[in-house]
Structure 1
Amino acid sequence: MAAPLLDACGASAVCSTEHNLPAAAVLHRRLAQANYEPKTWDYDSICSMHLHGQNKVQPSKESSLFQLASLKQIVRQLLLLEEEEDGLPNKLRIIDQLQSLGVAYHFEEEIKSILTSMHVHDAHLQLEHDLSSTALLFKLLRAHGIPASTDMLSAFFTNDNGGLDAADNINLMRDDNDDTIDGLVALYEASYLAFPGEAMLNTARAFAIDRLQQQMMPSSMVGGSYFQEDLPLHWRAPRLQAIRSLKHHRSDCSGDEIASCIMQLAAEDFDRVQAVHQSELVELTRWWKETKLGEKLPLSARDRLVECFFCATCIAPEPRHAGCRDVLAKVGSLIVHLDDIYDVYGTIDELATFTDAIAGNWDDDDDATALLPEYMQAMLSVIRSTSMAAADRVLREHGHDVLPVYKKAWHELCEAFMVEAKWQHEKVIPGLDEYLENGWVTSTGPLLLLHALTMLPSSNQQEQQRVDSWLRDDGKVVYPRLVELCSRIFRLCNDCATHEAESERGEGPSSIACFMSESSGGGVSKEEACGAVADAIAVIWKEVNRELLTGSVDAGIMCVNLARVIQCIYHDGDGITSPTDSRKKLIKDLLFTPIRTLL
C-alpha cells in the first residue's frame, strides 16, 4: 500500500490535562503504570484505501460475480451427485474441505440435508473399517447440531474399559500408511466434539496422540508437533482457518479437478468477502475518528479499533451479517476504553457515579451525567449514541425494541466492573467461584453477543419470543446458556494471557490468582494454575458442544466463533493489549492482503 497501514508511532492523541480534576483524585490514579502500546494501524491510510485503489474495496465486477456463481453451481452439483461405491467418503471429504476453506456457507441447505440423510440412514454402517470417514462423519454431524452417538466409533473400541484396540483389520499400526495417519488425525479432531461424560472420546484422543507421535517422524511435523503448535480444528475461527487451508492445499490440487474447482471458488470468495470487510472498515474507522475519544479521554487508553473489527469478522464473517460486524466492532472498541477506565484510571468514587449514570435515562442533560468528570461524560455519550443507533436499526429491520435490554446490559457490565474495582481497591482475592460468577460478565462476551444476536433476523415466532425474553420480570438480562459458556471461555483465556502483566500493573484478581490462593494453602505455582484453567476450558467446551444441539444455528455459530477467536487472540499472549508481530501479520493477511498474493 502507498500509505503504511502499520503505524509504529501512531498513538492516539492523549489529553495532557486532568480535566480540572481535584488534586486528591489525580493522586489515586495509576496512569503511569499502564504503559499500553500505541495503536498499530494508521487510520488515515485505512480511510483513504479506496482513493489509492489499494486492494479491492470496490464491489466485484460482473465478470467476477459470474465466475463465482458458475463455480458455486459446479460445486453444488458435486455435492448433489448420486452416491457411487466410494461416494459417501468422497462426499464427506468435500463437505469438510468446503468448511475448512470457508465457503460452506454457500451450501448450508445442501450440506444440512446431506448430513441429515446420512444420520437417518445410519451412514456410518457403510463405513466399516474406515476410521477416517467414520470419525469425520461423527464430527460433521455434531458440528451441525445433528445427533451423533459415540456408538458410531464403537467398532474401533473393543475392551471393557473403552480402550482403543490396535485393530489389525483397520491397519492402525502399519508403518508409512497415509490412510492410517488420516484416520488418527480424524479421530483426534472428532474427540473435541465430545459431550460431558463421554470418557471414550478422551481415550480416543489419547490413543490418537500416542499413535501419531509414534508414526510421524519429526521432520514431517511443522513446528515440532501437530498437537503443540495448533489448536484443534473445532476451536479455530473458520475465517482464519480458511487462510491456513488455502495456503496448505494450494499444491494439492494438481490433477484433481474437484479439488481444483473448490480451491478456485475459495480463493475467489475469500477476496470478495475481504473486499466487503475492507469497505466496512473504512466506514468504521471514519466513525471512530469522529467520536474523538482519543482526544477526550485523559488517559492513554488502548486504541484497538482494527483488532476489534478483526474479531468481528471472525465471529460473523459472512457478508449477510454486516450489521453484526458493525455493532461488534463498535461496542468492542468502546469496551476496551471502558475497561481501562475501570481498571486503571477512574477513582472508586468516579466509577460508582459512572455506574449509576449508565443506568439513568440516557439523556445528556440527565442529573447523574452532569455529576461525571468530562472524560466520563464523553465516554457515556458515545456508548449511548452507539447502542441507540444499533437499537434503531434492529427496530427498523426486525421490529424489536431492544434498547431497554442494551441499557440494562451496559449497566450490568459496569456493575460487574465495579465489583472488580472494589476487589482491586481493597486488595481482596475472592474465591474462584465468586470470581468466575462475576468474571463471565466482565469478559464482555455477554454484552458483545447481545448486540450481535439481536441483529440477526427473527425468522419465526420462536425467535421473536427469544428476543422478547432477554429481560426478566426483575429487570435482569437473561442470557442464553451458550452465551454464558462461551463467555466463561473468554474470561479464562483472557486471564491466562493477561495475569502476569495485570499483576505487575496492580490490577484486580484473575482466575489464576484466585486458583493459586485457594489451592493447597496458596502453594500452587502459576504454571499449575494455568494448567488447571486450561483443563477447565476443555470441560466448558464439552458443555458448549452439547448446547449447540439446541437453539438457532446462526446464533449458536456466532457464540462459538466468539470463543474461537478469543482462543486465537489469547493463544500466545495478549493480542489486544500487546499485539505480537505474528498477530499483526494475521490481521493484515485477513483484512488487507488479497489471498492470491499469499498462495
Structure 2
Amino acid sequence: MSLKISRVPSSSPAEKTSQVPEGRSAIFHLTIWADYFLKYASDSNLTSSDGVVEEHIERLKGEVKKMLTGAMDKPSQKLNLIDEIQRLGFAYHFEHEIDEQLEQIHRSYFEFHYGDNDDNLHTVAVLFRLLRQQGYNVSCEIFNRFKDSEGNFNKSIIADVQGMLSLFEACHLSYHGDDILNDALAFTISHLESIEKKKVSPNLVKQVSHALHQPIQKGLPRLEARRYIQFYQEEPLHNEVLLSLAKLDFNSLQEQHQKELGNLTRWWKDINIEREFPFARDRLGELYVWMLGIYFEPKYEIARGIVTKMMVILSILDDIYDVYGTLEELELFTEAIERWDVDAKEGLPKCMQVFYKTLLDFYDEISNELARKGRSYRLFYAKEVMKIQVRAYLAEAKWFHHSHVPTMEEYMPIALISIGTQLTFVTAFLGMGDIVTKDAFDWLLSSDPRIVKASQVIGRLMNDIAGHKFEQERGHVASSVECFMKQYSVTEEEAKKELCKQVANAWKDINEELRRPTAVPMVLLMRIINLARATHAVYEDETDHYVNAGTNFKEFVTLLLVNPCQCDGSEEQG
C-alpha cells in the first residue's frame, strides 16, 4: 500500500551536530514532525467523530458479537472468525467473548482435531496459533499428520500456499525443544520464498511476502492491523461487517491518538529540546507510536501519556550519558538522581540542572495523578527503577571513558538494564488500573522474571546489531557485537549471527512464559510482549529506525496517525 505524503512533513536530510566532549559526536536527523500534531491538541475528551459514526460502530459491534457467540457449522469457521477479528485490530471490544470461545474450543480440542479437519493444514495451524497465543499448552505434535513415513513434511502440502502461510505463522509460537516447528519453519520459508506467483492470487502473494518479513507474533499490533485491513479488503469473500467495523474503529482510535499526541506536543514544546538539549534526539512522534505498541486501547490514555513523557525524558537522559557529560559530571549527575532532592542539582552544568528539574517536575506530576487514584505507593517503584537506570548508564560511561571492552558476562547484566525495558514496564504499569497491584511491581523489580529478561535481550541485542556501526563512529561504549567479537575472536558477521540466535531463543522464552497459569495476569504480560514486538519493528532489517527516523518510522507514524482508513472501499494511493 502506497502513501499519500503531501500532507506529511518531508523527510529532511538535514542533520544536527552539537558540541560534546572530545571523542564523541552527536549527529542525528532533525525531527520530522516538529509541531505537526499540535493542531489536534484539545482540552476536551471528545473527538471529531459524530454520533452517527459512533452509533454505526455500536451496531456493527452488536452484529459481530452475535457472530462470535452464535452457533456455526464447523469449529473452523469460528477459528477463522476469531483470527480475522484479532488481525483486523478490534478484538479488544470482544475480549470476554473470545476468551469464552477459545476456552470452549480448547475443551473440545481432541474431539475437534481428530474430526473432519484432519487434513486441513490452514485450520490446524490457526487452531494451534490461537490457542498458544491464549496461553494453552498445545503440543506441536498436532502437525505430525502432515509428515511422511520418513518424518519429513509431505510435498503435497507445498501447493497449499494458504496452509503453508498459516503453518509459517504458527511456527513463531514455538517453545524450546519444539523440533517439529523448527523443521516446519525451515520448510515453509524455503517453499514460500519460491512460490509460483502465477498460480497464486496477487493478494495472497502480497500476504506471503509481508509475513516472511514480519510474522504476526512479532508485529506491532496497530501497524499490522492497518496493513491487514488492506489485505482483507482485497479478499473476494471478505465479510463486509468485519471490514466496515475495522475501518471505522481504526479511524475512531486514530482521532483519539491524534488528540493525545497533540496534547503531548504542547508539553514537549515547553521542554524545548532543541534549545535546552541540542545534542539530543528529538523524537516525540516516534516515541508515541512506540508506546502505542504497548497499549492502544482508549482506556489506557493516561497510561500512554505517562509512559510517552517518560520515554522522551529517557531519550534525553540517554544522550546526556552517551554524548554530553564528562565522566566527572556524570558521576555528580548520577549522585543527584540518587538523592532525589531539588537542591542536589547545584554544581551541575546548566544543561543537567535544567534536565534534573524537568525530571523531578515530571515525577511530581505522576505523584499527583497517582494520589488522585489512591495509588501513591506506585511512586516508590517509579523512582527506584529510574535510579537503577542511571546506575547502568554510569557503568557504561565508565567503560567508554576507560576504553574498556567488557566480556559478554560483564556486559549483559548492565546492558539489559541500560536498554530501558525494565523502566518502561514499570512506567507503563503506573497509569493502568487496579489490575496492577503491589505484587505486580514487586514481581517486575525483584523476581527477575524470565519474560522480562527475554524482552530485554530482544531490545538490547537488536539495538546493538542495528546501531553498533553508527555508535562506534560517533564514539560510544562497545556494544554486544564488539564484545562478542573480541571475546571469541570472531568476525562481525559471526558475532551477529550468534546474537540473532539469542534473540530467537528469547522469543521462545516469551512464548513459554505465556503458558497458563501465568505469574501475573495475562493483560500485564501482553504489555511485555507488545513492547518486544514494537522494538522488533524499530530495529528490523538491522537498521536503527529510531535514529534514522526518516525511513520506516515515518511510514509507521503516517499509517497510524496521519492517513485514515478510507471507508469508501478504497485506500489512499500515492
TM-score, scaled relative to structure 1: 0.86
Counterpart residue identity of residue 275, structure 2:
E
Out of 430, 451, 473, the residue aligned to residue 504 of structure 1 is 473
Which one of 437, 445, 457 corresponds to residue 464 of structure 1? 437
Letter in 1 for 2:105: M
Q: Which of 294, 297, 309 lines up with 1:318 in the alignment?
A: 297
* Partner residue, 1:23: none
1:490 and 2:464 aligned: no
Q: C-alpha distance in 1, partners of 2:40/2:479?
A: 40
Q: 1:531 aligns with which of 476, 488, 497?
A: 497
| Count of matched residue positions in the alignment of Structure 1 and Structure 2 | 554
Q: Relative to structure 1, is the Cα distance of residues 319 and 433 closer, same or farther in structure 2, using a 3 angstrom cutoff?
A: same
CA distance in 2, matches of 1:241, 1:9: 27
Aligned match for 1:556, one of 522, 525, 530: 525
8 Å Cα contact 2:219-2:537 kept in structure 1: yes
Structure 2 gap ranges (5+): none
Q: Does 1:234 align with 2:217?
A: yes
CA distance in 2, matches of 1:34, 1:485: 30
- Counterpart CA distance in 2 for 1:403 and 1:224 is 45
- The 1:563/1:218 distance shift into structure 2, 3 A limit, reads farther
Inter-CA distance 571–12: structure 2 relative to 1 (3 Å threshold): closer
State the partner residue of 2:228.
245
Following superposition, the deviation at residue 514 of structure 1 comes to 1.2
Matched-pair contact (CA < 8 Å) for 1:358–1:411 = yes
Q: Mean alpha-carbon deviation: is it higher for 397-406 or for 190-199?
A: 397-406
8 Å CA contact 1:274, 1:590 repeated in 2? yes
- Cα pair distance change 1:292/1:377, threshold 3 Å: same
Deviations 1:415-436, CA, capped at 9 Å, x for gaps = 1011111111111111113211
Moved more, 351-360 or 223-232: 223-232
Q: Deviations over 1:241-293 (max 9, x none)?
A: 0111112222225xx4x611101100000000000100100110001111234
Partner of 1:288: 268
SS in 1 for 2:28: coil
Match of 1:416 in 2: 392
Correspondences of 1:87-166 after superposition (within 5 Å): 87-122=74-109, 123-126=112-115, 127-157=117-147, 163-166=151-154
Matched position secondary structure for 1:580: coil
- The 1:468–1:246 alpha-carbon spacing in structure 2 relative to 1, beyond 3 Å, is closer
Classify 1:537/1:260 alpha carbon distance in 2 versus 1 (closer, same or farther; 3 Å).
same
3-state DSSP of counterpart to 1:587: helix
Work out the CA distance in 2 between the residues paired with 1:10 and 1:231: 27
| One-letter code aligned to 1:237 | L
Q: What does residue range 254-403 of structure 1 map to in structure 2 within 5 Å?
A: 256=237, 259-297=239-277, 299-360=278-339, 362-365=340-343, 368-397=344-373, 399-403=375-379
Cα contact 1:430–1:514 (8 A) shared by 2:
yes
Bigger Cα displacement from structure 2, 270-279 vs 589-598 = 589-598
Structure 1: which 5+ runs fail to align?
19-25
3-state SS in 2 of match to 1:315: coil
Could you tell me whether the CA contact under 8 Å between 2:400 and 2:476 is conserved in 1?
yes
Worse-matched range after superposition: 213-222 or 75-84: 213-222
State whether residues 545 and 552 of structure 2, in contact with CA within 8 Å, keep that contact through their aligned partners in structure 1: no
One-letter amino acid matched to 1:455: G
Q: 1:593 aligns with which of 563, 566, 572?
A: 563
Q: Matched residues in 2 for 1:506 and 1:241: separation?
A: 36
C-alpha change, 1:11 and 1:450, in structure 2 (3 Å) is farther
Q: Give the superposition deviation at 1:226.
A: 3.1
Question: C-alpha distance in 1, partners of 2:6/2:120?
Answer: 53
Partners of 2:553 and 2:185 lie apart in 1 by: 29
Aligned to 2:163: 183
CA distance in structure 2 between the aligned counterparts of 1:215 and 1:11, rounded to whole angstroms = 42
Structure 1 pair 508/206, CA: closer, same or farther in 2 (3 Å)? same
Structure 2 partner of 1:21: none
Measured against aligned partners, the alpha-carbon deviations of 1:215-248 in whole angstroms (never above 9, x if no partner) come to 4348968689738951211100110101111122
| CA distance, structure 2, for counterparts of residue 109 and residue 411 of structure 1 | 39
Could you report, residue by residue, the CA deviation over 1:107-144 in whole angstroms, capped at 9, with x for unpaired residues?
A: 11111111111111123233311111111111001111
Q: Is the 8 A contact 2:458 2:506 kept in 1?
A: yes
Q: Is 1:200 matched up with 2:180?
A: yes
1:36 partner SS:
strand
Please list the CA deviations of residues 45-73 of structure 1 after superposition, one character each: whole Å capped at 9, or x if unmatched: 3212469xxxx983421111110001111
Equivalent pair of 1:405/1:477 in contact (CA under 8 Å): no
Q: State whether residues 12 and 295 of structure 1, in contact with CA within 8 Å, keep that contact through their aligned partners in structure 2.
A: no
Query: Secondary structure of the residue that 1:105 maps to in structure 2?
Result: helix
